[in-house]
Amino acid sequence: MASQDWFDKDFYAVLGVSKDVSEADLKKTYRKLARTYHPDSKPGDAAAEAKFKEVSEAYSVLSDAEQRKEYDQIRAMGSGARFTAGGQGEGGFEDVFSMFNQGRGGGGSRYQTQDFEDIFSMFNQQGAGFGSGRFGQSTGGYRGSGAPTRGADVTARTTLDFVTAARGETISLQGEDGKQFKVKIPAGVADGQKIRLRGRGRPSPDGGTAGDIVVQVTVRQHPVFTRDGLSLRVTVPVSFTEAALGATIEVPTLGGDPVKLRVAPGTPSGRVLRVKGRGIETAKGTGDLLAEVQVAVPSHLDDDARAALERFAELGPRENPRADLMARARG
d(CA 243, CA 293): 9
Res. 283 pLDDT band, cuts 50 70 90: confident
pLDDT, average across residues 84-96: 42
Task: Return mean pLDDT, the chain.
Answer: 78
> What homologous superfamily is domain 222-298 in, according to CATH?
Urease metallochaperone UreE, N-terminal domain (2.60.260.20)
**Quick check: pTM over 0.75?**
no
User: What pLDDT score does 139 carry?
Assistant: 40
Task: Mention every residue, 6+ apart, whose C-beta is less than 8 A from residue 91.
Answer: 83, 122, 130, 135, 139, 142, 150
Tell me the backbone φ, ψ of residue 290, rounded to 5 degrees: -110, 110
For the chain, the structural domain boundaries read 222-298
pLDDT, average across residues 89-98: 43
R_g of the chain, CA atoms, integer Å: 26
pLDDT, average across residues 280-288: 91
Strands 272-275 and 256-263: unpaired
Sign of CA dihedral 287, 289, 293, 296: positive
Give Cα separations from 36 to 19, 50, 232 (angstroms): 23, 12, 17
User: What pLDDT score does 29 carry?
Assistant: 92
